[in-house]
Each structure stands twice: as structure tokens, then as C-alpha cells.
Amino acid sequence: MSACLFRDTYLHPLLKVRSQFRQIFLEMGFTEMPMDNFIENSWNVDGLFQPQQHPACDQHDAFFLKDPAEALQLPMDYVQRVKWTHSQGSYGSQGYKYTWKLEEARKNLLRTHSTAASARTLYSLAQKKPFTPAKYFSIDRVFRNETLDATHLAEFHQIEGVIANHGLTLGHLMGVLREFFTKLGITQLLFKPAYNPYTQPSMEVFSYHQSLKKWVEVGSSEVFRPEMLLPMGLPKNVSVIAWGLSLERPTMIKYGINNIRELVGNKVNTQMVYDSPVCSLDIEPRSPQTQEAA
């Protein structure tokens, strides 16, 4: 006797994975950051100590806004400190020594990474005296105005974890990452030096992929630069370590999906949603789905 097909009660696979990551962060004592603002302004990027002429700020990488085109309010005393740090150097830094322009900083855009929102949270943390250590996380949408292909869309989700405390070391960052990735079933990690304008040191995190038989990048991690933290008002010996990865990539690996459009957006086949198994991230992922015969 054939079984009746169950339908009707399905959660989207990407959001199932998101729930799992939320769970992992909560288990590790991380507090969720407010991320309910897609619109940021360039100011927030400058506050990260990313220089205004940096390639990542190009018109062709970010979605700039026509309306509202500019931020209505900026915290001017903080702005002055950031301007000084960029152009003249301060807080022990040489700075970038260029002419920092306020008009550039006022431009609104769709956030290109979640670190912009983390910066807002860190700024709020810095205003609370005395300083108390904090652990934050976020999983939300970011926007990039890039060329689209099988693994890139204009909108995707970033996962970010942040720890702010006295005396944090690179060894601590690596230790936290080991615990985090162990909960994902990944135990072998390698770290590689990388470059990011607002972090130093920065590392790319690699794990060994059993079926591909090679090391693949699973995320990036970093220590925020003092030039970013000190203008916010954080005490001098407070360090902030952070790491991030995309939500789509582990989901695609977990569910064996090769084209991101099959996962996100309106062209998603709801049958895929019906068929996707329960998400427990530490279980070995399935092999990529076979293509239908041409």
C-alpha cells in the first residue's frame, strides 16, 4: 500500500540553517545585534577605518541611494575624530594622509557587509561606562552590486560573531573559532594571513573538505584596528575580535545545491523546499544533486 505524500508544512532550507547558526551562537553566550536597517551610510564604512578611495567603496560594488541620497544626521564629534584618524593619523597611527571628505561620508547605501551594523553596536557599547565585556552575533542580509553568476547574487546573508574584552589575543580568536566550527562538524582548521583595511591581524579560515580532498575557505576572522575602536570611545586596552562567513555557502554544501538561484529568490523550486531534510549542521553533507538528463 503506497504511503500518502505529506506536504504543506515546510520551512525554507536557508532559514533552517540560519536557525541552527542562531542556536550555536546562543549556546556560546552571544547576544543578537539589531540588524533591522538595510540602509547605511558611507560614514559607517569610514568609521571602520576603510579609506574613502578604497576599491570596495566603488560605485560598482555598492548600491548607492538616489532617494534618500544622504544621511540626515551624523554624530559630529565622532565624525571629527574619524576624519583626523584618516587624514592626519592619531591614536598611535600614521593614518592614510589624504583629504577626507564629509560629502563622501554622507552618502547613503545598502549595507555591503554586516560589520557596519556591528560598528553601530560597538559604538553604543563604548558609550556605556564602565566598560563591560560583550559577545555579539548577527545573521542578516547584505547587498553587493557585483557581477552575478552561479554562486553570486546581489543579496546574500552574512553571519558575524564579535567579542569585545580586555586582553584578547589572536590565540583566543582561533580558540573561539575552533569551538564554533566544531559545532558545525568541522574539526580541522588552518589559518592564513589576509588583508582587510579595518582589521589587523586578519586571517582566512580553511577547513579540509573530505570529498573534494582539499582545503577550502570557510570564513574569515580578524582583530579590529585601534584606529577603528579608539575614535568610538572604547577604552585603550579593549580588543575586539570578530569572524564571519556567508550563510548561503554552508547551506549549498549541506543541501548539495550548485546554483544559488535554486536556493534564494522567487525562482526557487518549492519542491526543493518540500524535499529538504532536517538541518543539523554537524551531520555530514549530502553529495551534490545529480542533474536531470538533458
- Closest distance between another protein and the C-beta of residue 291, in Å? 19
Kindly state the smallest distance separating residue 45's Cβ from another protein, in Å: 13
Q: Judged by CB under 8 A, does residue 213 bind another protein?
A: no
CB of 227 to another protein, least distance (A): 7
Instruction: Confirm or reject binding of residue 9 to another protein (CB under 8 A).
Output: yes
Least Cβ distance, residue 164 to another protein (angstroms): 8
Q: Considering only residues 81-140, where is the footprint of another protein by CB under 8 A?
A: 89, 91-98, 108, 110, 133-135
How far apart (Å, rounded) are the C-alpha atoms in residues 62 and 144?
5
Find the binder of another protein among 1, 2, 66, 287 (CB under 8 A): 66
Per rule CB under 8 A, is residue 74 in the interface with another protein?
yes
| Cα distance between residue 127 and residue 268, in whole Å | 44
CB 198 within 8 A of CB 173: no
- Examine residue 292 and tell whether it contacts another protein (CB under 8 A): no
SS3 48: coil
265 forms part of the interface with another protein (CB under 8 A):
yes
Complex with another protein: residue 60 or 129, whichever CB lies closer: 60
Q: How far is the CB of 254 from another protein (least distance, A)?
A: 15
The residue among 15 and 253 lying less far from another protein, judged by its C-beta, is 15
Alpha carbons 237 and 156: distance in angstroms, whole number: 34
Query: What's the residue count for the chain?
Result: 294
Q: Which is nearer to another protein, 38 or 208 (CB)?
A: 38
CA atoms within 13 A on the CB side of 222: 19
Q: Does 32 bind another protein (CB under 8 A)?
A: yes
Instruction: Give the C-alpha separation, 274 to 245, whole Å.
Output: 26
Rounded CA gap, 191 and 219, in Å?
10
Residue 233: left if φ>0, alpha if ψ -120 to 50, beta else—which one? left
Buried b / exposed e over 106-128, threshold 16 CB at 10 Å, is bbbbbbbbbbbbbbbbbbebbee
Residue 52: all three cell numbers together: 574613502
User: Which of 78, 191, 220, 233 touches another protein (CB under 8 A)?
Assistant: 191
Residue 273 in the binding site for another protein (CB under 8 A): yes
Among 238, 239, 255, 257, binds another protein (CB under 8 A): 239
Cβ count within 10 A of residue 6:
8
Instruction: Choose between 154 and 184: whose C-beta lies nearer to another protein.
Output: 154
Nearer to another protein, 193 or 287 (CB): 193
